[in-house]
């Protein structure tokens, strides 16, 4: 990269604009400024690509007044090795420079990228979680919807009124599990939550890091769901909720149990494992079980190729999967699916 090229990080630093960058792809997490600058300068590939793109949120504000802020949601294409395309970065920088007159105290307005071809709108769930995480990271108060959720979940009667709880309040609660005894409260009532509220909480938990007690409770629910042949959608939600558990063994136990069950035929469930539990698939035994299940899932070759292609954008996973797919011990079903995706010469000795 030449000295003449300008990165977003350098542009905002020069303008005196405070910036925080979030990954909104597989799960929501904040990047450090140094980490994102390495991505921008192509010193490192994007660490968590999703559907061959980097899904990011840029939160910008005036250091003198955090209330003066703007948020951009950008879906940036990556090359086949997972690096950010410099042409895309340069296009966004040029748009910002052309709209600098619309800035307020160094903070460009959200309209600055109104015609930006890389913009995207997050789902309601991710939008709520982003706002919850951004408020927590910036030491700001949770939304006004947070306390009603706290009060509801702490009460013994959970049968009525949950439909009135705000998604934003639930996101605030999940993001602040480590505060005010929230996690212990959730552990105590998790088995009592109405079905709809239970599903909402599970979907949000994938962006948190459940403690050992909570992940153990989730694992118990998963075991029961598998033994009762429950809906794969519920099992998928439980897997997602366990994906970032602080007790890593709970995540591994959950995935192994699912892959050794009849539920492993569900392409939706396998996609949840691939997109939310990708780190667990670095374990060779789990990776082999996953690949074998994927080759025999209910959605056929199309699901096998799409899910595998997305995983192979992760550099370490790519190496491990190629090794596993070329193993002499793979099943005939996995051989056939691999041949259809890569061609008959893929498995020949290199």
Domain boundaries, the chain: 8-113, 137-208, 211-350
Residue 108 has pLDDT above 70, yes or no: no
User: What pTM was computed for the model?
Assistant: 0.88
Please state, in angstroms and rounded to a whole number, the distance separating the CA atoms of residues 158 and 145. Answer: 17
- Which tens digit of pLDDT belongs to each residue from 173-182? 999 999 989 9
Interatomic CA distance for residues 178 and 155, integer angstroms: 19
What pLDDT band is residue 1 in, cutting at 50, 70 and 90? very low
Dist CA 286 CA 307 (whole Å): 16
36 burial level (CB within 10 Å; 0-12, 13-18, 19+): buried
Query: In this predicted model, what pLDDT tens digit does every residue of 315-348 receive, in sequence order?
Result: 889 899 999 999 989 999 999 999 999 988 887 7
Six token digits for residue 41: 């300068």
pLDDT in tens, 64-101: 766 667 888 999 999 988 899 888 888 888 777 766 54
What integer pLDDT is reported at residue 100 of this predicted model? 52
> Which tens digits make up the pLDDT trace of 224-250?
999 999 999 999 999 999 999 999 999
Eight-state DSSP code of residue 168: H
pLDDT at 11: 81
**pLDDT tens, position by position, 123-152:** 999 999 999 999 999 889 999 999 999 999
Q: Running DSSP on this structure, what letter comes out for residue 202?
A: H
Residue 268's contacts (CB-CB under 8 Å, 6 or more residues apart) are 232, 233, 236
**Cα separation of 196 and 334, whole Å?**
37
Say if strands 65-77 and 29-31 run parallel, antiparallel, or are unpaired: unpaired
């Amino acid at each position: 990269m030449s000295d003449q090229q300008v990165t977003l990080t350098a542009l905002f630093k020069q303008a005196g604009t405070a910036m925080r960058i979030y990954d909104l792809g597989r799960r929501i997490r904040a990047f450090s400024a140094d980490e994102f600058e390495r991505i921008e300068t192509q010193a490192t590939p994007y660490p968590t690509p999703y559907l061959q793109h980097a899904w990011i949120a840029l939160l910008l504000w005036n250091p003198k007044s955090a209330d003066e802020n703007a948020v951009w949601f950008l879906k940036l294409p990556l090359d086949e090795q997972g690096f950010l395309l410099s042409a895309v970065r340069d296009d966004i920088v040029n748009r910002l420079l052309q709209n600098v007159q619309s800035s307020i105290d160094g903070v460009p307005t959200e309209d600055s990228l109104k015609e930006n071809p890389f913009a995207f709108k997050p789902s309601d769930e991710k939008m709520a979680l982003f706002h919850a995480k951004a408020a927590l990271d910036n030491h700001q108060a949770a939304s006004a919807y947070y306390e009603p959720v706290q009060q509801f979940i702490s009460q013994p009667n959970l049968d009525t009124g949950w439909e009135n709880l705000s998604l934003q309040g639930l996101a605030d609660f999940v993001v602040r599990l480590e505060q005010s005894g929230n996690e212990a409260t959730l552990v105590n009532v998790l088995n009592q939550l109405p079905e709809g509220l239970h599903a909402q909480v599970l979907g949000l938990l994938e962006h948190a890091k459940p403690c050992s007690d909570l992940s153990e409770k989730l694992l118990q629910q998963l075991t029961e769901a598998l033994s009762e042949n429950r809906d794969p959608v519920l099992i998928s939600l439980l897997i997602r909720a366990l994906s970032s558990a602080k007790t890593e063994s709970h995540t591994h136990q959950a995935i192994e149990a699912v892959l050794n069950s009849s539920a492993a035929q569900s392409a939706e469930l396998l996609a949840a494992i691939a997109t939310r539990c990708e780190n667990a698939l670095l374990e060779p035994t789990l990776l082999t079980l996953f690949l074998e299940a994927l080759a025999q899932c209910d959605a056929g070759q199309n699901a096998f190729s799409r899910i595998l292609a997305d995983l192979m954008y992760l550099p370490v996973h790519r190496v491990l999967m190629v090794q596993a797919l070329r193993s002499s011990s793979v099943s005939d079903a996995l051989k056939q699916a691999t041949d259809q995706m890569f061609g008959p010469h893929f498995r020949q000795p290199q």
